[in-house]
Amino acid sequence: MFNNKTILITGGTGSFGKKFIKILLSKYNPKKVIVYSRDELKQFEMQQIYNAPCMRYFIGDVRDGERLKQAMRGVDYVVHAAALKQVPAAEYNPMECIKTNINGAWNVINAAMYCGVKKVIALSTDKAANPINLYGATKLASDKLFVAANNLVGDRDIKFSVVRYGNVVGSRGSVVPFFKKLVENGAEYLPITDERMTRYWLRLEDGIEFVLKNFERMQGGEIFVPKIPSMRVVDLAKSIAPDLPIKVIGIRPGEKLHEVMCPADLYYDTIEFPDHFVIRPSINFAKNIDYTTNALGEHGHYVDDGFDYSSGNNPHFLTVEELKEMNDLL
């Protein structure tokens, strides 16, 4: 699908962007791959590794709509990964988070429509479902913008969808490198905010494969949610330092005990497929779409009344041994 196509990824120098490009180049022969990000040092460092003839590097901010239009000329597919993601930082700097995550999303949508892009997938987060923090609220607003954008395209052949998933093992901001550094520095304990806390746990490679697959599945307007395992934070601590005690330090600003990806309030819009869920749009588009069958011909069914998909009630929890195996791969 991506052979001889031009792909742009916003926030392309982050954990997701670098791994996405590595996998994309190993599986396909794209015409161009455009990294759009604002950090010149990260771009310089990335150019030393990803220097194939198809690679292009654009310095720019998603807050700058005109620069996005320049970067998207001739682009077929866009992955929107740029965001301010740190929950406590967003609580203390709310307007900066809004400018990037909401205004930036709108700029990506406008640039994609202006330049005739074919498909756009925006990355979301479990924190966008029933949000209690500002980061989650901005990502929910972003999700709504990308879903509603399908009503703005007119007769243009462009589709917008969203991929929502949970915590990525070892990504920038992940607790795993933090715990490992504490152990290396001789810490006497590992800090845990709450012993009951659970999180979804996803390998970065699996998240990228899910995004790539959804470019084939998408019809426009869906929020794709993968079926992924959960983990207990206390088990994660044991998998990294089994002999080290834990210390409960209290919940951080904007933090939840459990994360949700498919809220119970949206059970009537939630469709279950063998390895993922789809939350269909709550609004009607000009074109009637049956979301129980996707563009690949895969069939799903609506979930039961009151269904919700939470890291706390997930049927699949990783064991300490499984967590250790995942940590060892980092």
Burial class (CB in 10 A: 0-12, 13-18, 19+), 122: buried
Q: How far apart are CA 315 and CA 115, in angstroms?
A: 43
Q: 202, 245, 185: which is closest to 16 by C-alpha?
A: 202
Residue with tokens 């590595």: 22
Name which of 119, 135, 116, 115 is nearest 127 in CA terms: 135
Distances from the Cα of 134 to the Cα of 84, 86, 92, 328, angstroms = 11, 10, 9, 33
Angle formed by the axes of helices 104-115 and 134-148, nearest 10°: 20
Exactly one of 127, 139, 144, 256 is catalytic; name it.
Answer: 127
The DSSP bridge pattern shows strands 230-232 and 167-168 to be unpaired
Hunting for tokens 């700029």 — which residue is that? 107
Distance CA 71, CA 54 (A): 15
**Helix residue spans in the chain (DSSP H):** 15-27, 40-47, 65-71, 87-92, 94-98, 104-115, 134-148, 175-184, 204-217, 233-240, 320-328
Annotation marks residue 127 as catalytic: yes
Q: φ, ψ for residue 10 (rounded to 5)?
A: -80, 145
Residues 237 and 176: beta-carbon distance below 8 Å: no
- Show Cβ contacts of residue 43 under 8 Å, excluding neighbours closer than 6 positions: 13, 35, 37, 57, 59
Give catalytic residues, as residue numbers. 127
